[in-house]
Structure 1
Amino acid sequence: MFPTPIQKRSPAAQIAYQSMLPLALLLWLLPLLAVMAFSARPDADFTTGNYWGWPSSFEGVANYTLVFTSEMPRYLLNSFLITIPTVIGTIALSCMTGFALGIYRFRGNILIFFMFIAGNFVPFQILMVPVRDLTIDLNLYDTRAGLILFHIAFQTGFCTLFMRNFIRQLPFPLIEAARVEGVAEWRIFVYVVLPLMKPAIAALSVLVFTFIWNDYFWAIVLTQGPDTQPVTAGITSFNSQFRAAYHLMSAGSIVAALPPVAMFFLMQRHFIAGLTLGAVK
């Protein structure tokens, strides 16, 4: 029923596995390696069509210096000012909604939970026009607050699904014991349930941080200009009217990818614990 572990397969299968794994890893990393190589090439290589040949010179330091002396620091700051409040707002709302839907039994519980789930299946591209018009009507267009509010609204559905299922796996006798002692419901949530949700909060924080940081679609739909645009949209500012500065865009992409990678490695232990907790008894 289950696949045979590679350690129990034939020697030929093990050799094939060990030889194909580095090749698969190389193919997976090839786009990233290409971007890293492009970030060290001079602009002349792109104008002459020398994309994959040996670089005429190595200009990595000059390219990254140009990136940091441009508007890139402002775009990075915008990304942090958008992503961090979004993560905090989304996690806070999903913890409360997950607690309400996972602990309490009331009429319409399943219907409300279904609405949270159904929102995840709506293609977000079809929301482009109404969301943009709504932000214009509320004077939130081309503001960081408008982008933050939209991301919180859109990510809360998935996070509520995650939190509700996580909370339902917690030992309910703890909550009953607190109620017998006369503890208020909000104190049960803050002092009993919330500490047990730390692995799930850490896992969701990494996921939401990555989702929002890497968002490009809504960044170009709801914002414009260096005052509000995050780094994913700001990278395109290196393009001019008639040509694209691929060396600077590649260097900017590497810089933009560093914060979520650092976030994952800092939270790796909690992230894995949050995803695997409850998988086995």
Structure 2
Amino acid sequence: MFPRPIQQASAPAQTAYKTLLPISLILWLLPLIAVAVFSIKPASDFTQGNYWGMPGSFELFNNYGQVFFNSDMPRYMLNSVLITVPTVIGAVALSAMAGFALGIYKFRSNIWVFFMFVAGNFVPFQILMVPVRDLTLDMGLYNTKTGLVLFHIAFQTGFCTLFMRNFIRALPFPLIEAARVEGVAEWRIFWFVVLPLMKPALAALAVLIFTFIWNDYFWAIVLTQGPDAQPVTAGITSFNAQYRAAYHLMSAGSIVAALPPVLMFFLMQKHFIAGLTLGAVK
């Protein structure tokens, strides 16, 4: 069976595995480690070229204090929350209903409608930059949190529907048939029968979409500008001046911005793993 457990490998293979694995993990985590180290260094270290050496002085409280109290970072964080949370709720709710319709009902255009949802995921988002920006300008949604929320819901619903439809099709159909025999309305079947069984999938999808939207940078700088509507990913660049980049503050801001998705994952870890692995083993 592949892959073979490392315990069954030869002694040289086990030694190489135990040696290379920590090195690989350090290389993988090196960018994050560098940002964490930069966030506690003073600005003078960067002007003097002290990128990887010991900090000239530990400025942990000073740097993070400036991020929280002497900048617009709290406002950018609030913008990210007001953009991400409605997007997750809207995309998951719409995809759950669309997935139920495509997974349960059999009609002539079912496969074509499903194909449209899937095909939308293969469109390179860069080519949509100009038309989407013009559309938000025409609708008066440019540089608004509402515009970003509506845009993200529209573009995330395709992937979410693909996820939900495949999950719902794996559910035992006799449960739905039994409810129909009892005369239960279709919306009650969805709400009281199907939706409780979808909790692992809903949790897994919510974590994924939360991470996607929170970490979005491309559309944040295309559709918004300034602290009124920009999320935290775009707001980090506000630490740059015209002739100088405050890398120590950008690093501290990046660490702060990365905490909510990490916290979200650990809070939903049990349901996230259950949603991804459900149905993998009979």
Query: With structure 1 as the length reference, what TM-score do the two structures score?
Result: 0.99
What residue is the counterpart of 1:50 in the other structure?
50
Q: Deviation of residue 51 (structure 1)?
A: 1.3
What is the DSSP-based 3-state SS (H/G/I as helix, E as strand, rest coil) of the residue aligned with 1:151?
A: helix
Correspondence list, 1:93-242, <5 A:
93-242=94-243
What residue is the counterpart of 1:66 in the other structure?
66
Q: Deviation of residue 48 (structure 1)?
A: 1.6
Correspondence list, 1:12-31, <5 A:
12-31=12-31
What is the DSSP-based 3-state SS (H/G/I as helix, E as strand, rest coil) of the residue aligned with 1:36?
A: helix
- The amino acid of 2:21's aligned partner reads L
**1:7 & 1:236 partners in 2: Cα distance?**
48
Q: Deviation of residue 15 (structure 1)?
A: 1.5
Q: Number of residues paired by the alignment? A: 281
**2:118 & 2:204 partners in 1: Cα distance?**
19
- Deviation track 1:43-84 (CA, whole Å, cap 9, x = no partner) reads 011112211222211111100000001100000000000000
What residue is the counterpart of 2:40 in the other structure?
40
**2:195 & 2:59 partners in 1: Cα distance?**
50
Identity of aligned residues (%): 79
What is the DSSP-based 3-state SS (H/G/I as helix, E as strand, rest coil) of the residue aligned with 1:139?
A: coil
- Deviation track 1:110-159 (CA, whole Å, cap 9, x = no partner) reads 00100100000000011000000000000000000000000000000000
Stretches of structure 1 lacking an aligned partner (at least 5 in a row): none
**2:206 & 2:59 partners in 1: Cα distance?**
36
- The amino acid of 2:193's aligned partner reads V
**1:77 & 1:104 partners in 2: Cα distance?**
40
Q: Does 2:62 align with 1:79?
A: no
What is the DSSP-based 3-state SS (H/G/I as helix, E as strand, rest coil) of the residue aligned with 1:99?
A: helix
Query: With structure 2 as the length reference, what TM-score do the two structures score?
Result: 0.99
Q: Deviation of residue 2 (structure 1)?
A: 2.0
What residue is the counterpart of 1:3 in the other structure?
3
What is the DSSP-based 3-state SS (H/G/I as helix, E as strand, rest coil) of the residue aligned with 1:120?
A: helix
**1:240 & 1:212 partners in 2: Cα distance?**
27
Moved over 4 A (4+): none
**2:36 & 2:263 partners in 1: Cα distance?**
17
Farther off after superposition, 45-54 or 88-97 = 45-54
What residue is the counterpart of 1:92 in the other structure?
93
Stretches of structure 2 lacking an aligned partner (at least 5 in a row): none
**1:4 & 1:264 partners in 2: Cα distance?**
29
Please give the root-mean-square deviation of Cα atoms over the aligned residues, in Å. Answer: 0.7
- Deviation track 1:207-256 (CA, whole Å, cap 9, x = no partner) reads 00000000000000000110100000000000000110000000000000
